[in-house]
Amino acid sequence: MLKIRDIEFSYKTAPVLKGIDMDVGIHELLTILGPNGVGKSTLLKCINGLFKTKKGTIIVNQENLKEMKRVEIAKRLGYVPQRAEVSQITVFDSVLLGRKPHITWDVSKRDMQITKDALTRFGMDELSLKYIDEISGGELQKVQIARALVQEPKVLLLDEPTSSLDLCNQHRIMTTLVDVVKQTDLTAILTMHDLNLAVRYSDKFLLLKDGNVFAAGDRSVITPENIEAVYGLPVSGEMYVGRPVIVPR
């Protein structure tokens, strides 16, 4: 379980995040929502320790991440950034790099098997020997997520994981993420711009406005009033084939 208390972060003198609190349990998927520039990606980087917070605590399963070295944090948090660096490396080796925090001397049979299983889960067996610079942007995003999963983290952090995917692969990725979260002792935190995709697959939501938590909770916080207040856009909440759909007016 992830607990965040009173996180504050500033770029030089400009405050970005102010007193952020968050609780996410095992088997839960939380999506951080809000307009561009509100601090969604920054919050993920603060959780992962890439950005040093001004104050606050981050606890994973009763362990304080601020007291850990990077290699220990990497065993507990898997991070998928918005943009991936492309290099001359195969898909298999790229995913295998996610095992680095667990490798003490040499790559083991278990490391190899975990990597193979991750590629199979994301339907990338046939791509395993292709080079990263030979695959599509959507396929590269799958590689990034698979690499984070093979770290065997307690918490998975994903910054806009569906942004470069087509409609079909958006839903395939989200379905796979939900399955992984529900079937293992995993917690997932995402940032996303697609409200309908978020509502369809997420258990919890954190709405940010002006660096503060405007609303947090289950689907009950995704109301037309809250969305208009956060995004400045009037919307209606409708039900279609038994699922909530957000429609701009």
Q: Answer whether residue 86 shows pLDDT above 80.
A: no
**C-alpha span between 206 and 60 (Å, rounded):** 18
**C-alpha span between 187 and 154 (Å, rounded):** 6
pLDDT in tens, 32-69: 999 998 999 999 999 999 998 888 999 998 899 888 88
Task: Give me the pLDDT at residue 245, please.
Answer: 86
Pick the more confident residue, 54 or 84.
Answer: 54
pLDDT in tens, 208-244: 999 999 999 999 999 999 999 999 999 998 877 777 8
**CB-based contacts of 165: which residues, under 8 Å, 6+ apart?**
138, 141, 173
**C-alpha span between 21 and 58 (Å, rounded):** 10
Q: How many CB atoms lie within 10 A of CB 242?
A: 5
When pLDDT is averaged across residues 97-118 and rounded to a whole number, the result is 90
pLDDT grade for 98, boundaries at 50, 70 and 90: very high
Domains of the chain: 2-76+153-248 (3.40.50.300), 84-152 (no CATH)
Per residue, the 3-state secondary structure of 212-249, as one string, reads: EEEEEECHHHCCHHHHHHHHCCCEEEEEECCEEEEEEC
Q: Answer whether residue 129 shows pLDDT above 90.
A: yes
**C-alpha span between 224 and 248 (Å, rounded):** 9
Q: Answer whether residue 164 shows pLDDT above 80.
A: no
Whole-model pTM: value is 0.91
